[in-house]
Structure 1
Amino acid sequence: IFISIALILGDGLFNFVTVMISTANSFHKQLKNKDPGLVTTASNGGASSSSSNRNMNFEDRRRIEFFMKDGIPLPYAIAGYVAIMAIATPILPRIFP
């Protein structure tokens, strides 16, 4: 039973680290380019949406613009991650004694 718990925790830790690295890279690219509208997606091979806007029709551009206009500001996103981490760190050991 200890091996299965170790595998589950190891897989969770791996996924957590992978997501955090991906998020950090995205934040770094956004800060480096100083372009708040820059969004990278895996579906178009990592190309930015601003460079692929030329190839989209008007309706697609309008739909993406409407969807992206109410984004969460970067400082609030970082504060949210830190707050969730601060809450989860002392609570998780109590859930799994």
Structure 2
Amino acid sequence: MKHDALPQADQDALDAAAFRRLIAHLDSRKDVQNIDLMILADFCRNCLSKWYRAAGEERGLDISDAEARERIYGMAYEDWKANFQTPATAEQQAAFAARKRG
């Protein structure tokens, strides 16, 4: 059945389930750096947190950047950076710059 043929409640439930699975998958792959996601897919965990905050704002909810990041990262952003973020390599920086130019 096509997604748009489903009742809106079912569409929303499926979308939410897929989002939760994406967040869980990213949580299980802390080795994948944001720069890698940006190079390959042109979005990262920070993008997801901004989209989450914006969705809340559209519904009249006051969600801070820190709260949105904690939802996506599963912990305070500063803790994630300290424990899991590695410095970007020269190769990653070059690939990111090429992606931005391309």
Q: Which has the larger radius of gyration?
A: 1
| TM bin (shorter chain) | 0.3 to 0.5
> Relative contact order: is structure 1 or structure 2 higher (C-alpha 8 Å, sep ≥ 6)?
2
Task: Give the TM-score normalised by structure 2.
Answer: 0.38
Normalised by the length of structure 1, the TM-score is 0.40
